[in-house]
Amino acid sequence: MSPKNIVFKKISKDKSVGVYMGKRDFVDHVGSVDPVDGVLLVDPEQLKAKKAYVTLSCTFRYGGDDMDVLGIAFRREIYVSTRQIYPPLQDKEQGILTKVQDKLLRKLGVNAYPFFFEFPDNLPCSVGLQPAPKDVGKHCAVEFEVKAFSAESQDAKVRKRSSVRLMIRKVQYAPETLGPAPCVETTRDFLMSDKPLHMEASLQKQTYYHGEPINVRVKINNDSNKNVRNIIISVEQIANVVLYSSDSYMKAVAIEDSGDSVDSGAKLDKVYTLLPLLANNRERRGIALDGKLKHEDTNLASSSIIKEGVLKEVLGIMVSYRLVVKLIVGGIMGSSEVGVELPFQLMHPKPDTVKESELEDEMVFEEFKRTYLKGMAEDEDEGNISPGEH
């Protein structure tokens, strides 16, 4: 049986504009990003003398739209691009259409018009920080949105009844070419000890998938006169939040407090297994999560892979992971620590692509609903939108 040819749609309350899109996830391949394409359906009788526009925006937001301090909203548009779609500025036949657009134009008729956007290189992916259980209505996230609206001009005030907002995601998948497996070693000399302590830690590969156990091999050769009292292994998530300033947040998302010891003159060669999961970090504020749509669950944020040369220009939230092995070493003067770090990637595998020729010819239309992480509230549909929110 052929996969369903699903098209997502959303119509404004006054029926003046409607948006139809063949997908909600747009893949960042590092070298390039899938373009955002769709079709705008207009009702000329409802529009009257108004024009119809479509906007693609990337916003960094904290808190709801109604929250502000001294007139400063908790949101910043990292990127925004608005295009007039109706009346069209060029003939439909002049543009290059995707197969989905072509099918939609034929199905929806003469009042349907295509739109097309390309992402710039320096935008982050969809990611948010998990709010605390009591932080109802608050969230910190990088969000992407396609918005259609009708108005006398691009800068005029827009009634929410005359607009639709569709959340989309910019996502990355694990690279097909994998890097070398991380391996690190360290040697520590101690005061009043003739010989050192040597530790080596290694992973089996550089990239792990969400939900996959991570095995780390730890080798210790303790020729010192100190005793290793405990070995603690953890997976740490580092979220760099770059907006007005650069802030870094580190959260341990999996910990193995082994209780293992290595006496003076002894050796250890052991594999430890950790499994970083959102399920074990549900109530922890500040954990970075992948952006989500509809009422589906999400997961710990995927590692960010940035195109070479644009790192300094990227705003928003960038995520990385490292596995930390820490030895607690006892001595006469008290305990000390010996540690190593192994950077790795945590991502989703690239899904199997379905060829358009394999899809059913008949389109299945599905309402496009916006959803939030736990603790986020739905926007109100009434009222006006200021020009700055286009």
What's the residue count for the chain?
390
CA dihedral 345, 347, 352, 354 (to 10 degrees): -130
Residue 375 pLDDT: 35
- 107's enclosing H/E stretch is helix 99-108
Spatial CB neighbours of 70, under 8 Å, sequence gap ≥ 6: none
Percent of the chain, pLDDT > 90? 56
At residue 386 the predicted structure's pLDDT band, cuts being 50, 70 and 90, is very low
Tell me what the mean pLDDT of segment 179-204 comes to. 94
What is the C-alpha to C-alpha distance for residues 73 and 158, in angstroms, rounded to an integer? 19
What is the C-alpha to C-alpha distance for residues 98 and 356, in angstroms, rounded to an integer? 11
> What is the pTM (predicted TM-score) of this model?
0.84
Least confident of 259-268, 287-296, 367-376: 367-376
Per residue in 69-89, pLDDT (tens digit) is: 544 557 788 999 999 999 988
At residue 263 the predicted structure's pLDDT band, cuts being 50, 70 and 90, is very high
Spatial CB neighbours of 169, under 8 Å, sequence gap ≥ 6: 24, 25, 26, 125, 126, 144, 291, 292, 293
At residue 2 the predicted structure's pLDDT band, cuts being 50, 70 and 90, is very low
- Report all structural domains of the chain as residue ranges with CATH numbers, in order of start: 5-173+350-367 (2.60.40.840), 183-347 (2.60.40.640)
Least confident of 165-174, 204-213, 325-334, 357-366: 357-366
Q: Tell whether the torsion through CA atoms of 69, 75, 78 and 84 is positive or negative.
A: negative
DSSP at 93? G
Q: How many CA atoms lie within 13 A of 356 on its CB side?
A: 9
Residue 233 pLDDT: 98
What is the C-alpha to C-alpha distance for residues 137 and 252, in angstroms, rounded to an integer? 25
What is the C-alpha to C-alpha distance for residues 15 and 161, in angstroms, rounded to an integer? 8
Q: 């769709």: which residue's tokens?
A: 38
- 33's enclosing H/E stretch is none
* Contact status, residue 112 vs residue 363, Cβ threshold 8 Å: no
> Which ranges in 202-303 belong to alpha helices (H)?
none
Per residue in 362-383, pLDDT (tens digit) is: 677 777 664 433 333 334 443 4
* Contact status, residue 234 vs residue 67, Cβ threshold 8 Å: no
List, as one string, the DSSP characters of 168-219: EEEE----SS--PPPEEEEEE--TT-SS-EEEEEEES-SEEETT--EEEEEE
Laid out side by side, the sheet with 316-330 consists of: 207-209, 336-347, 316-330, 227-242, 246-257
pLDDT at 91 over 90: no
Q: What is the mean pLDDT of the chain?
A: 84
160 phi, psi to nearest 5 deg:
-65, -25
Largest Cα–Cα distance of the chain, in whole Å?
Answer: 90
* Contact status, residue 22 vs residue 368, Cβ threshold 8 Å: no
Q: Which two tokens stand for residue 154?
A: 């691009």
Q: Are strands 5-11 and 363-367 parallel, antiparallel or unpaired?
A: parallel
Q: 């070493």: which residue's tokens?
A: 329
Cβ count within 10 A of residue 267? 12
| One-letter amino acid of 1 | M
3-state secondary structure of 378: coil
Percent of the chain, pLDDT > 70? 82
Q: Which of 20, 17, 27, 15 is nearest to 5 (CA)?
A: 20
What is the C-alpha to C-alpha distance for residues 326 and 232, in angstroms, rounded to an integer? 5
Residue 378 pLDDT: 39
Q: Is 155 left (phi over 0), alpha (psi -120 to 50) or beta?
A: alpha
| One-letter amino acid of 109 | G
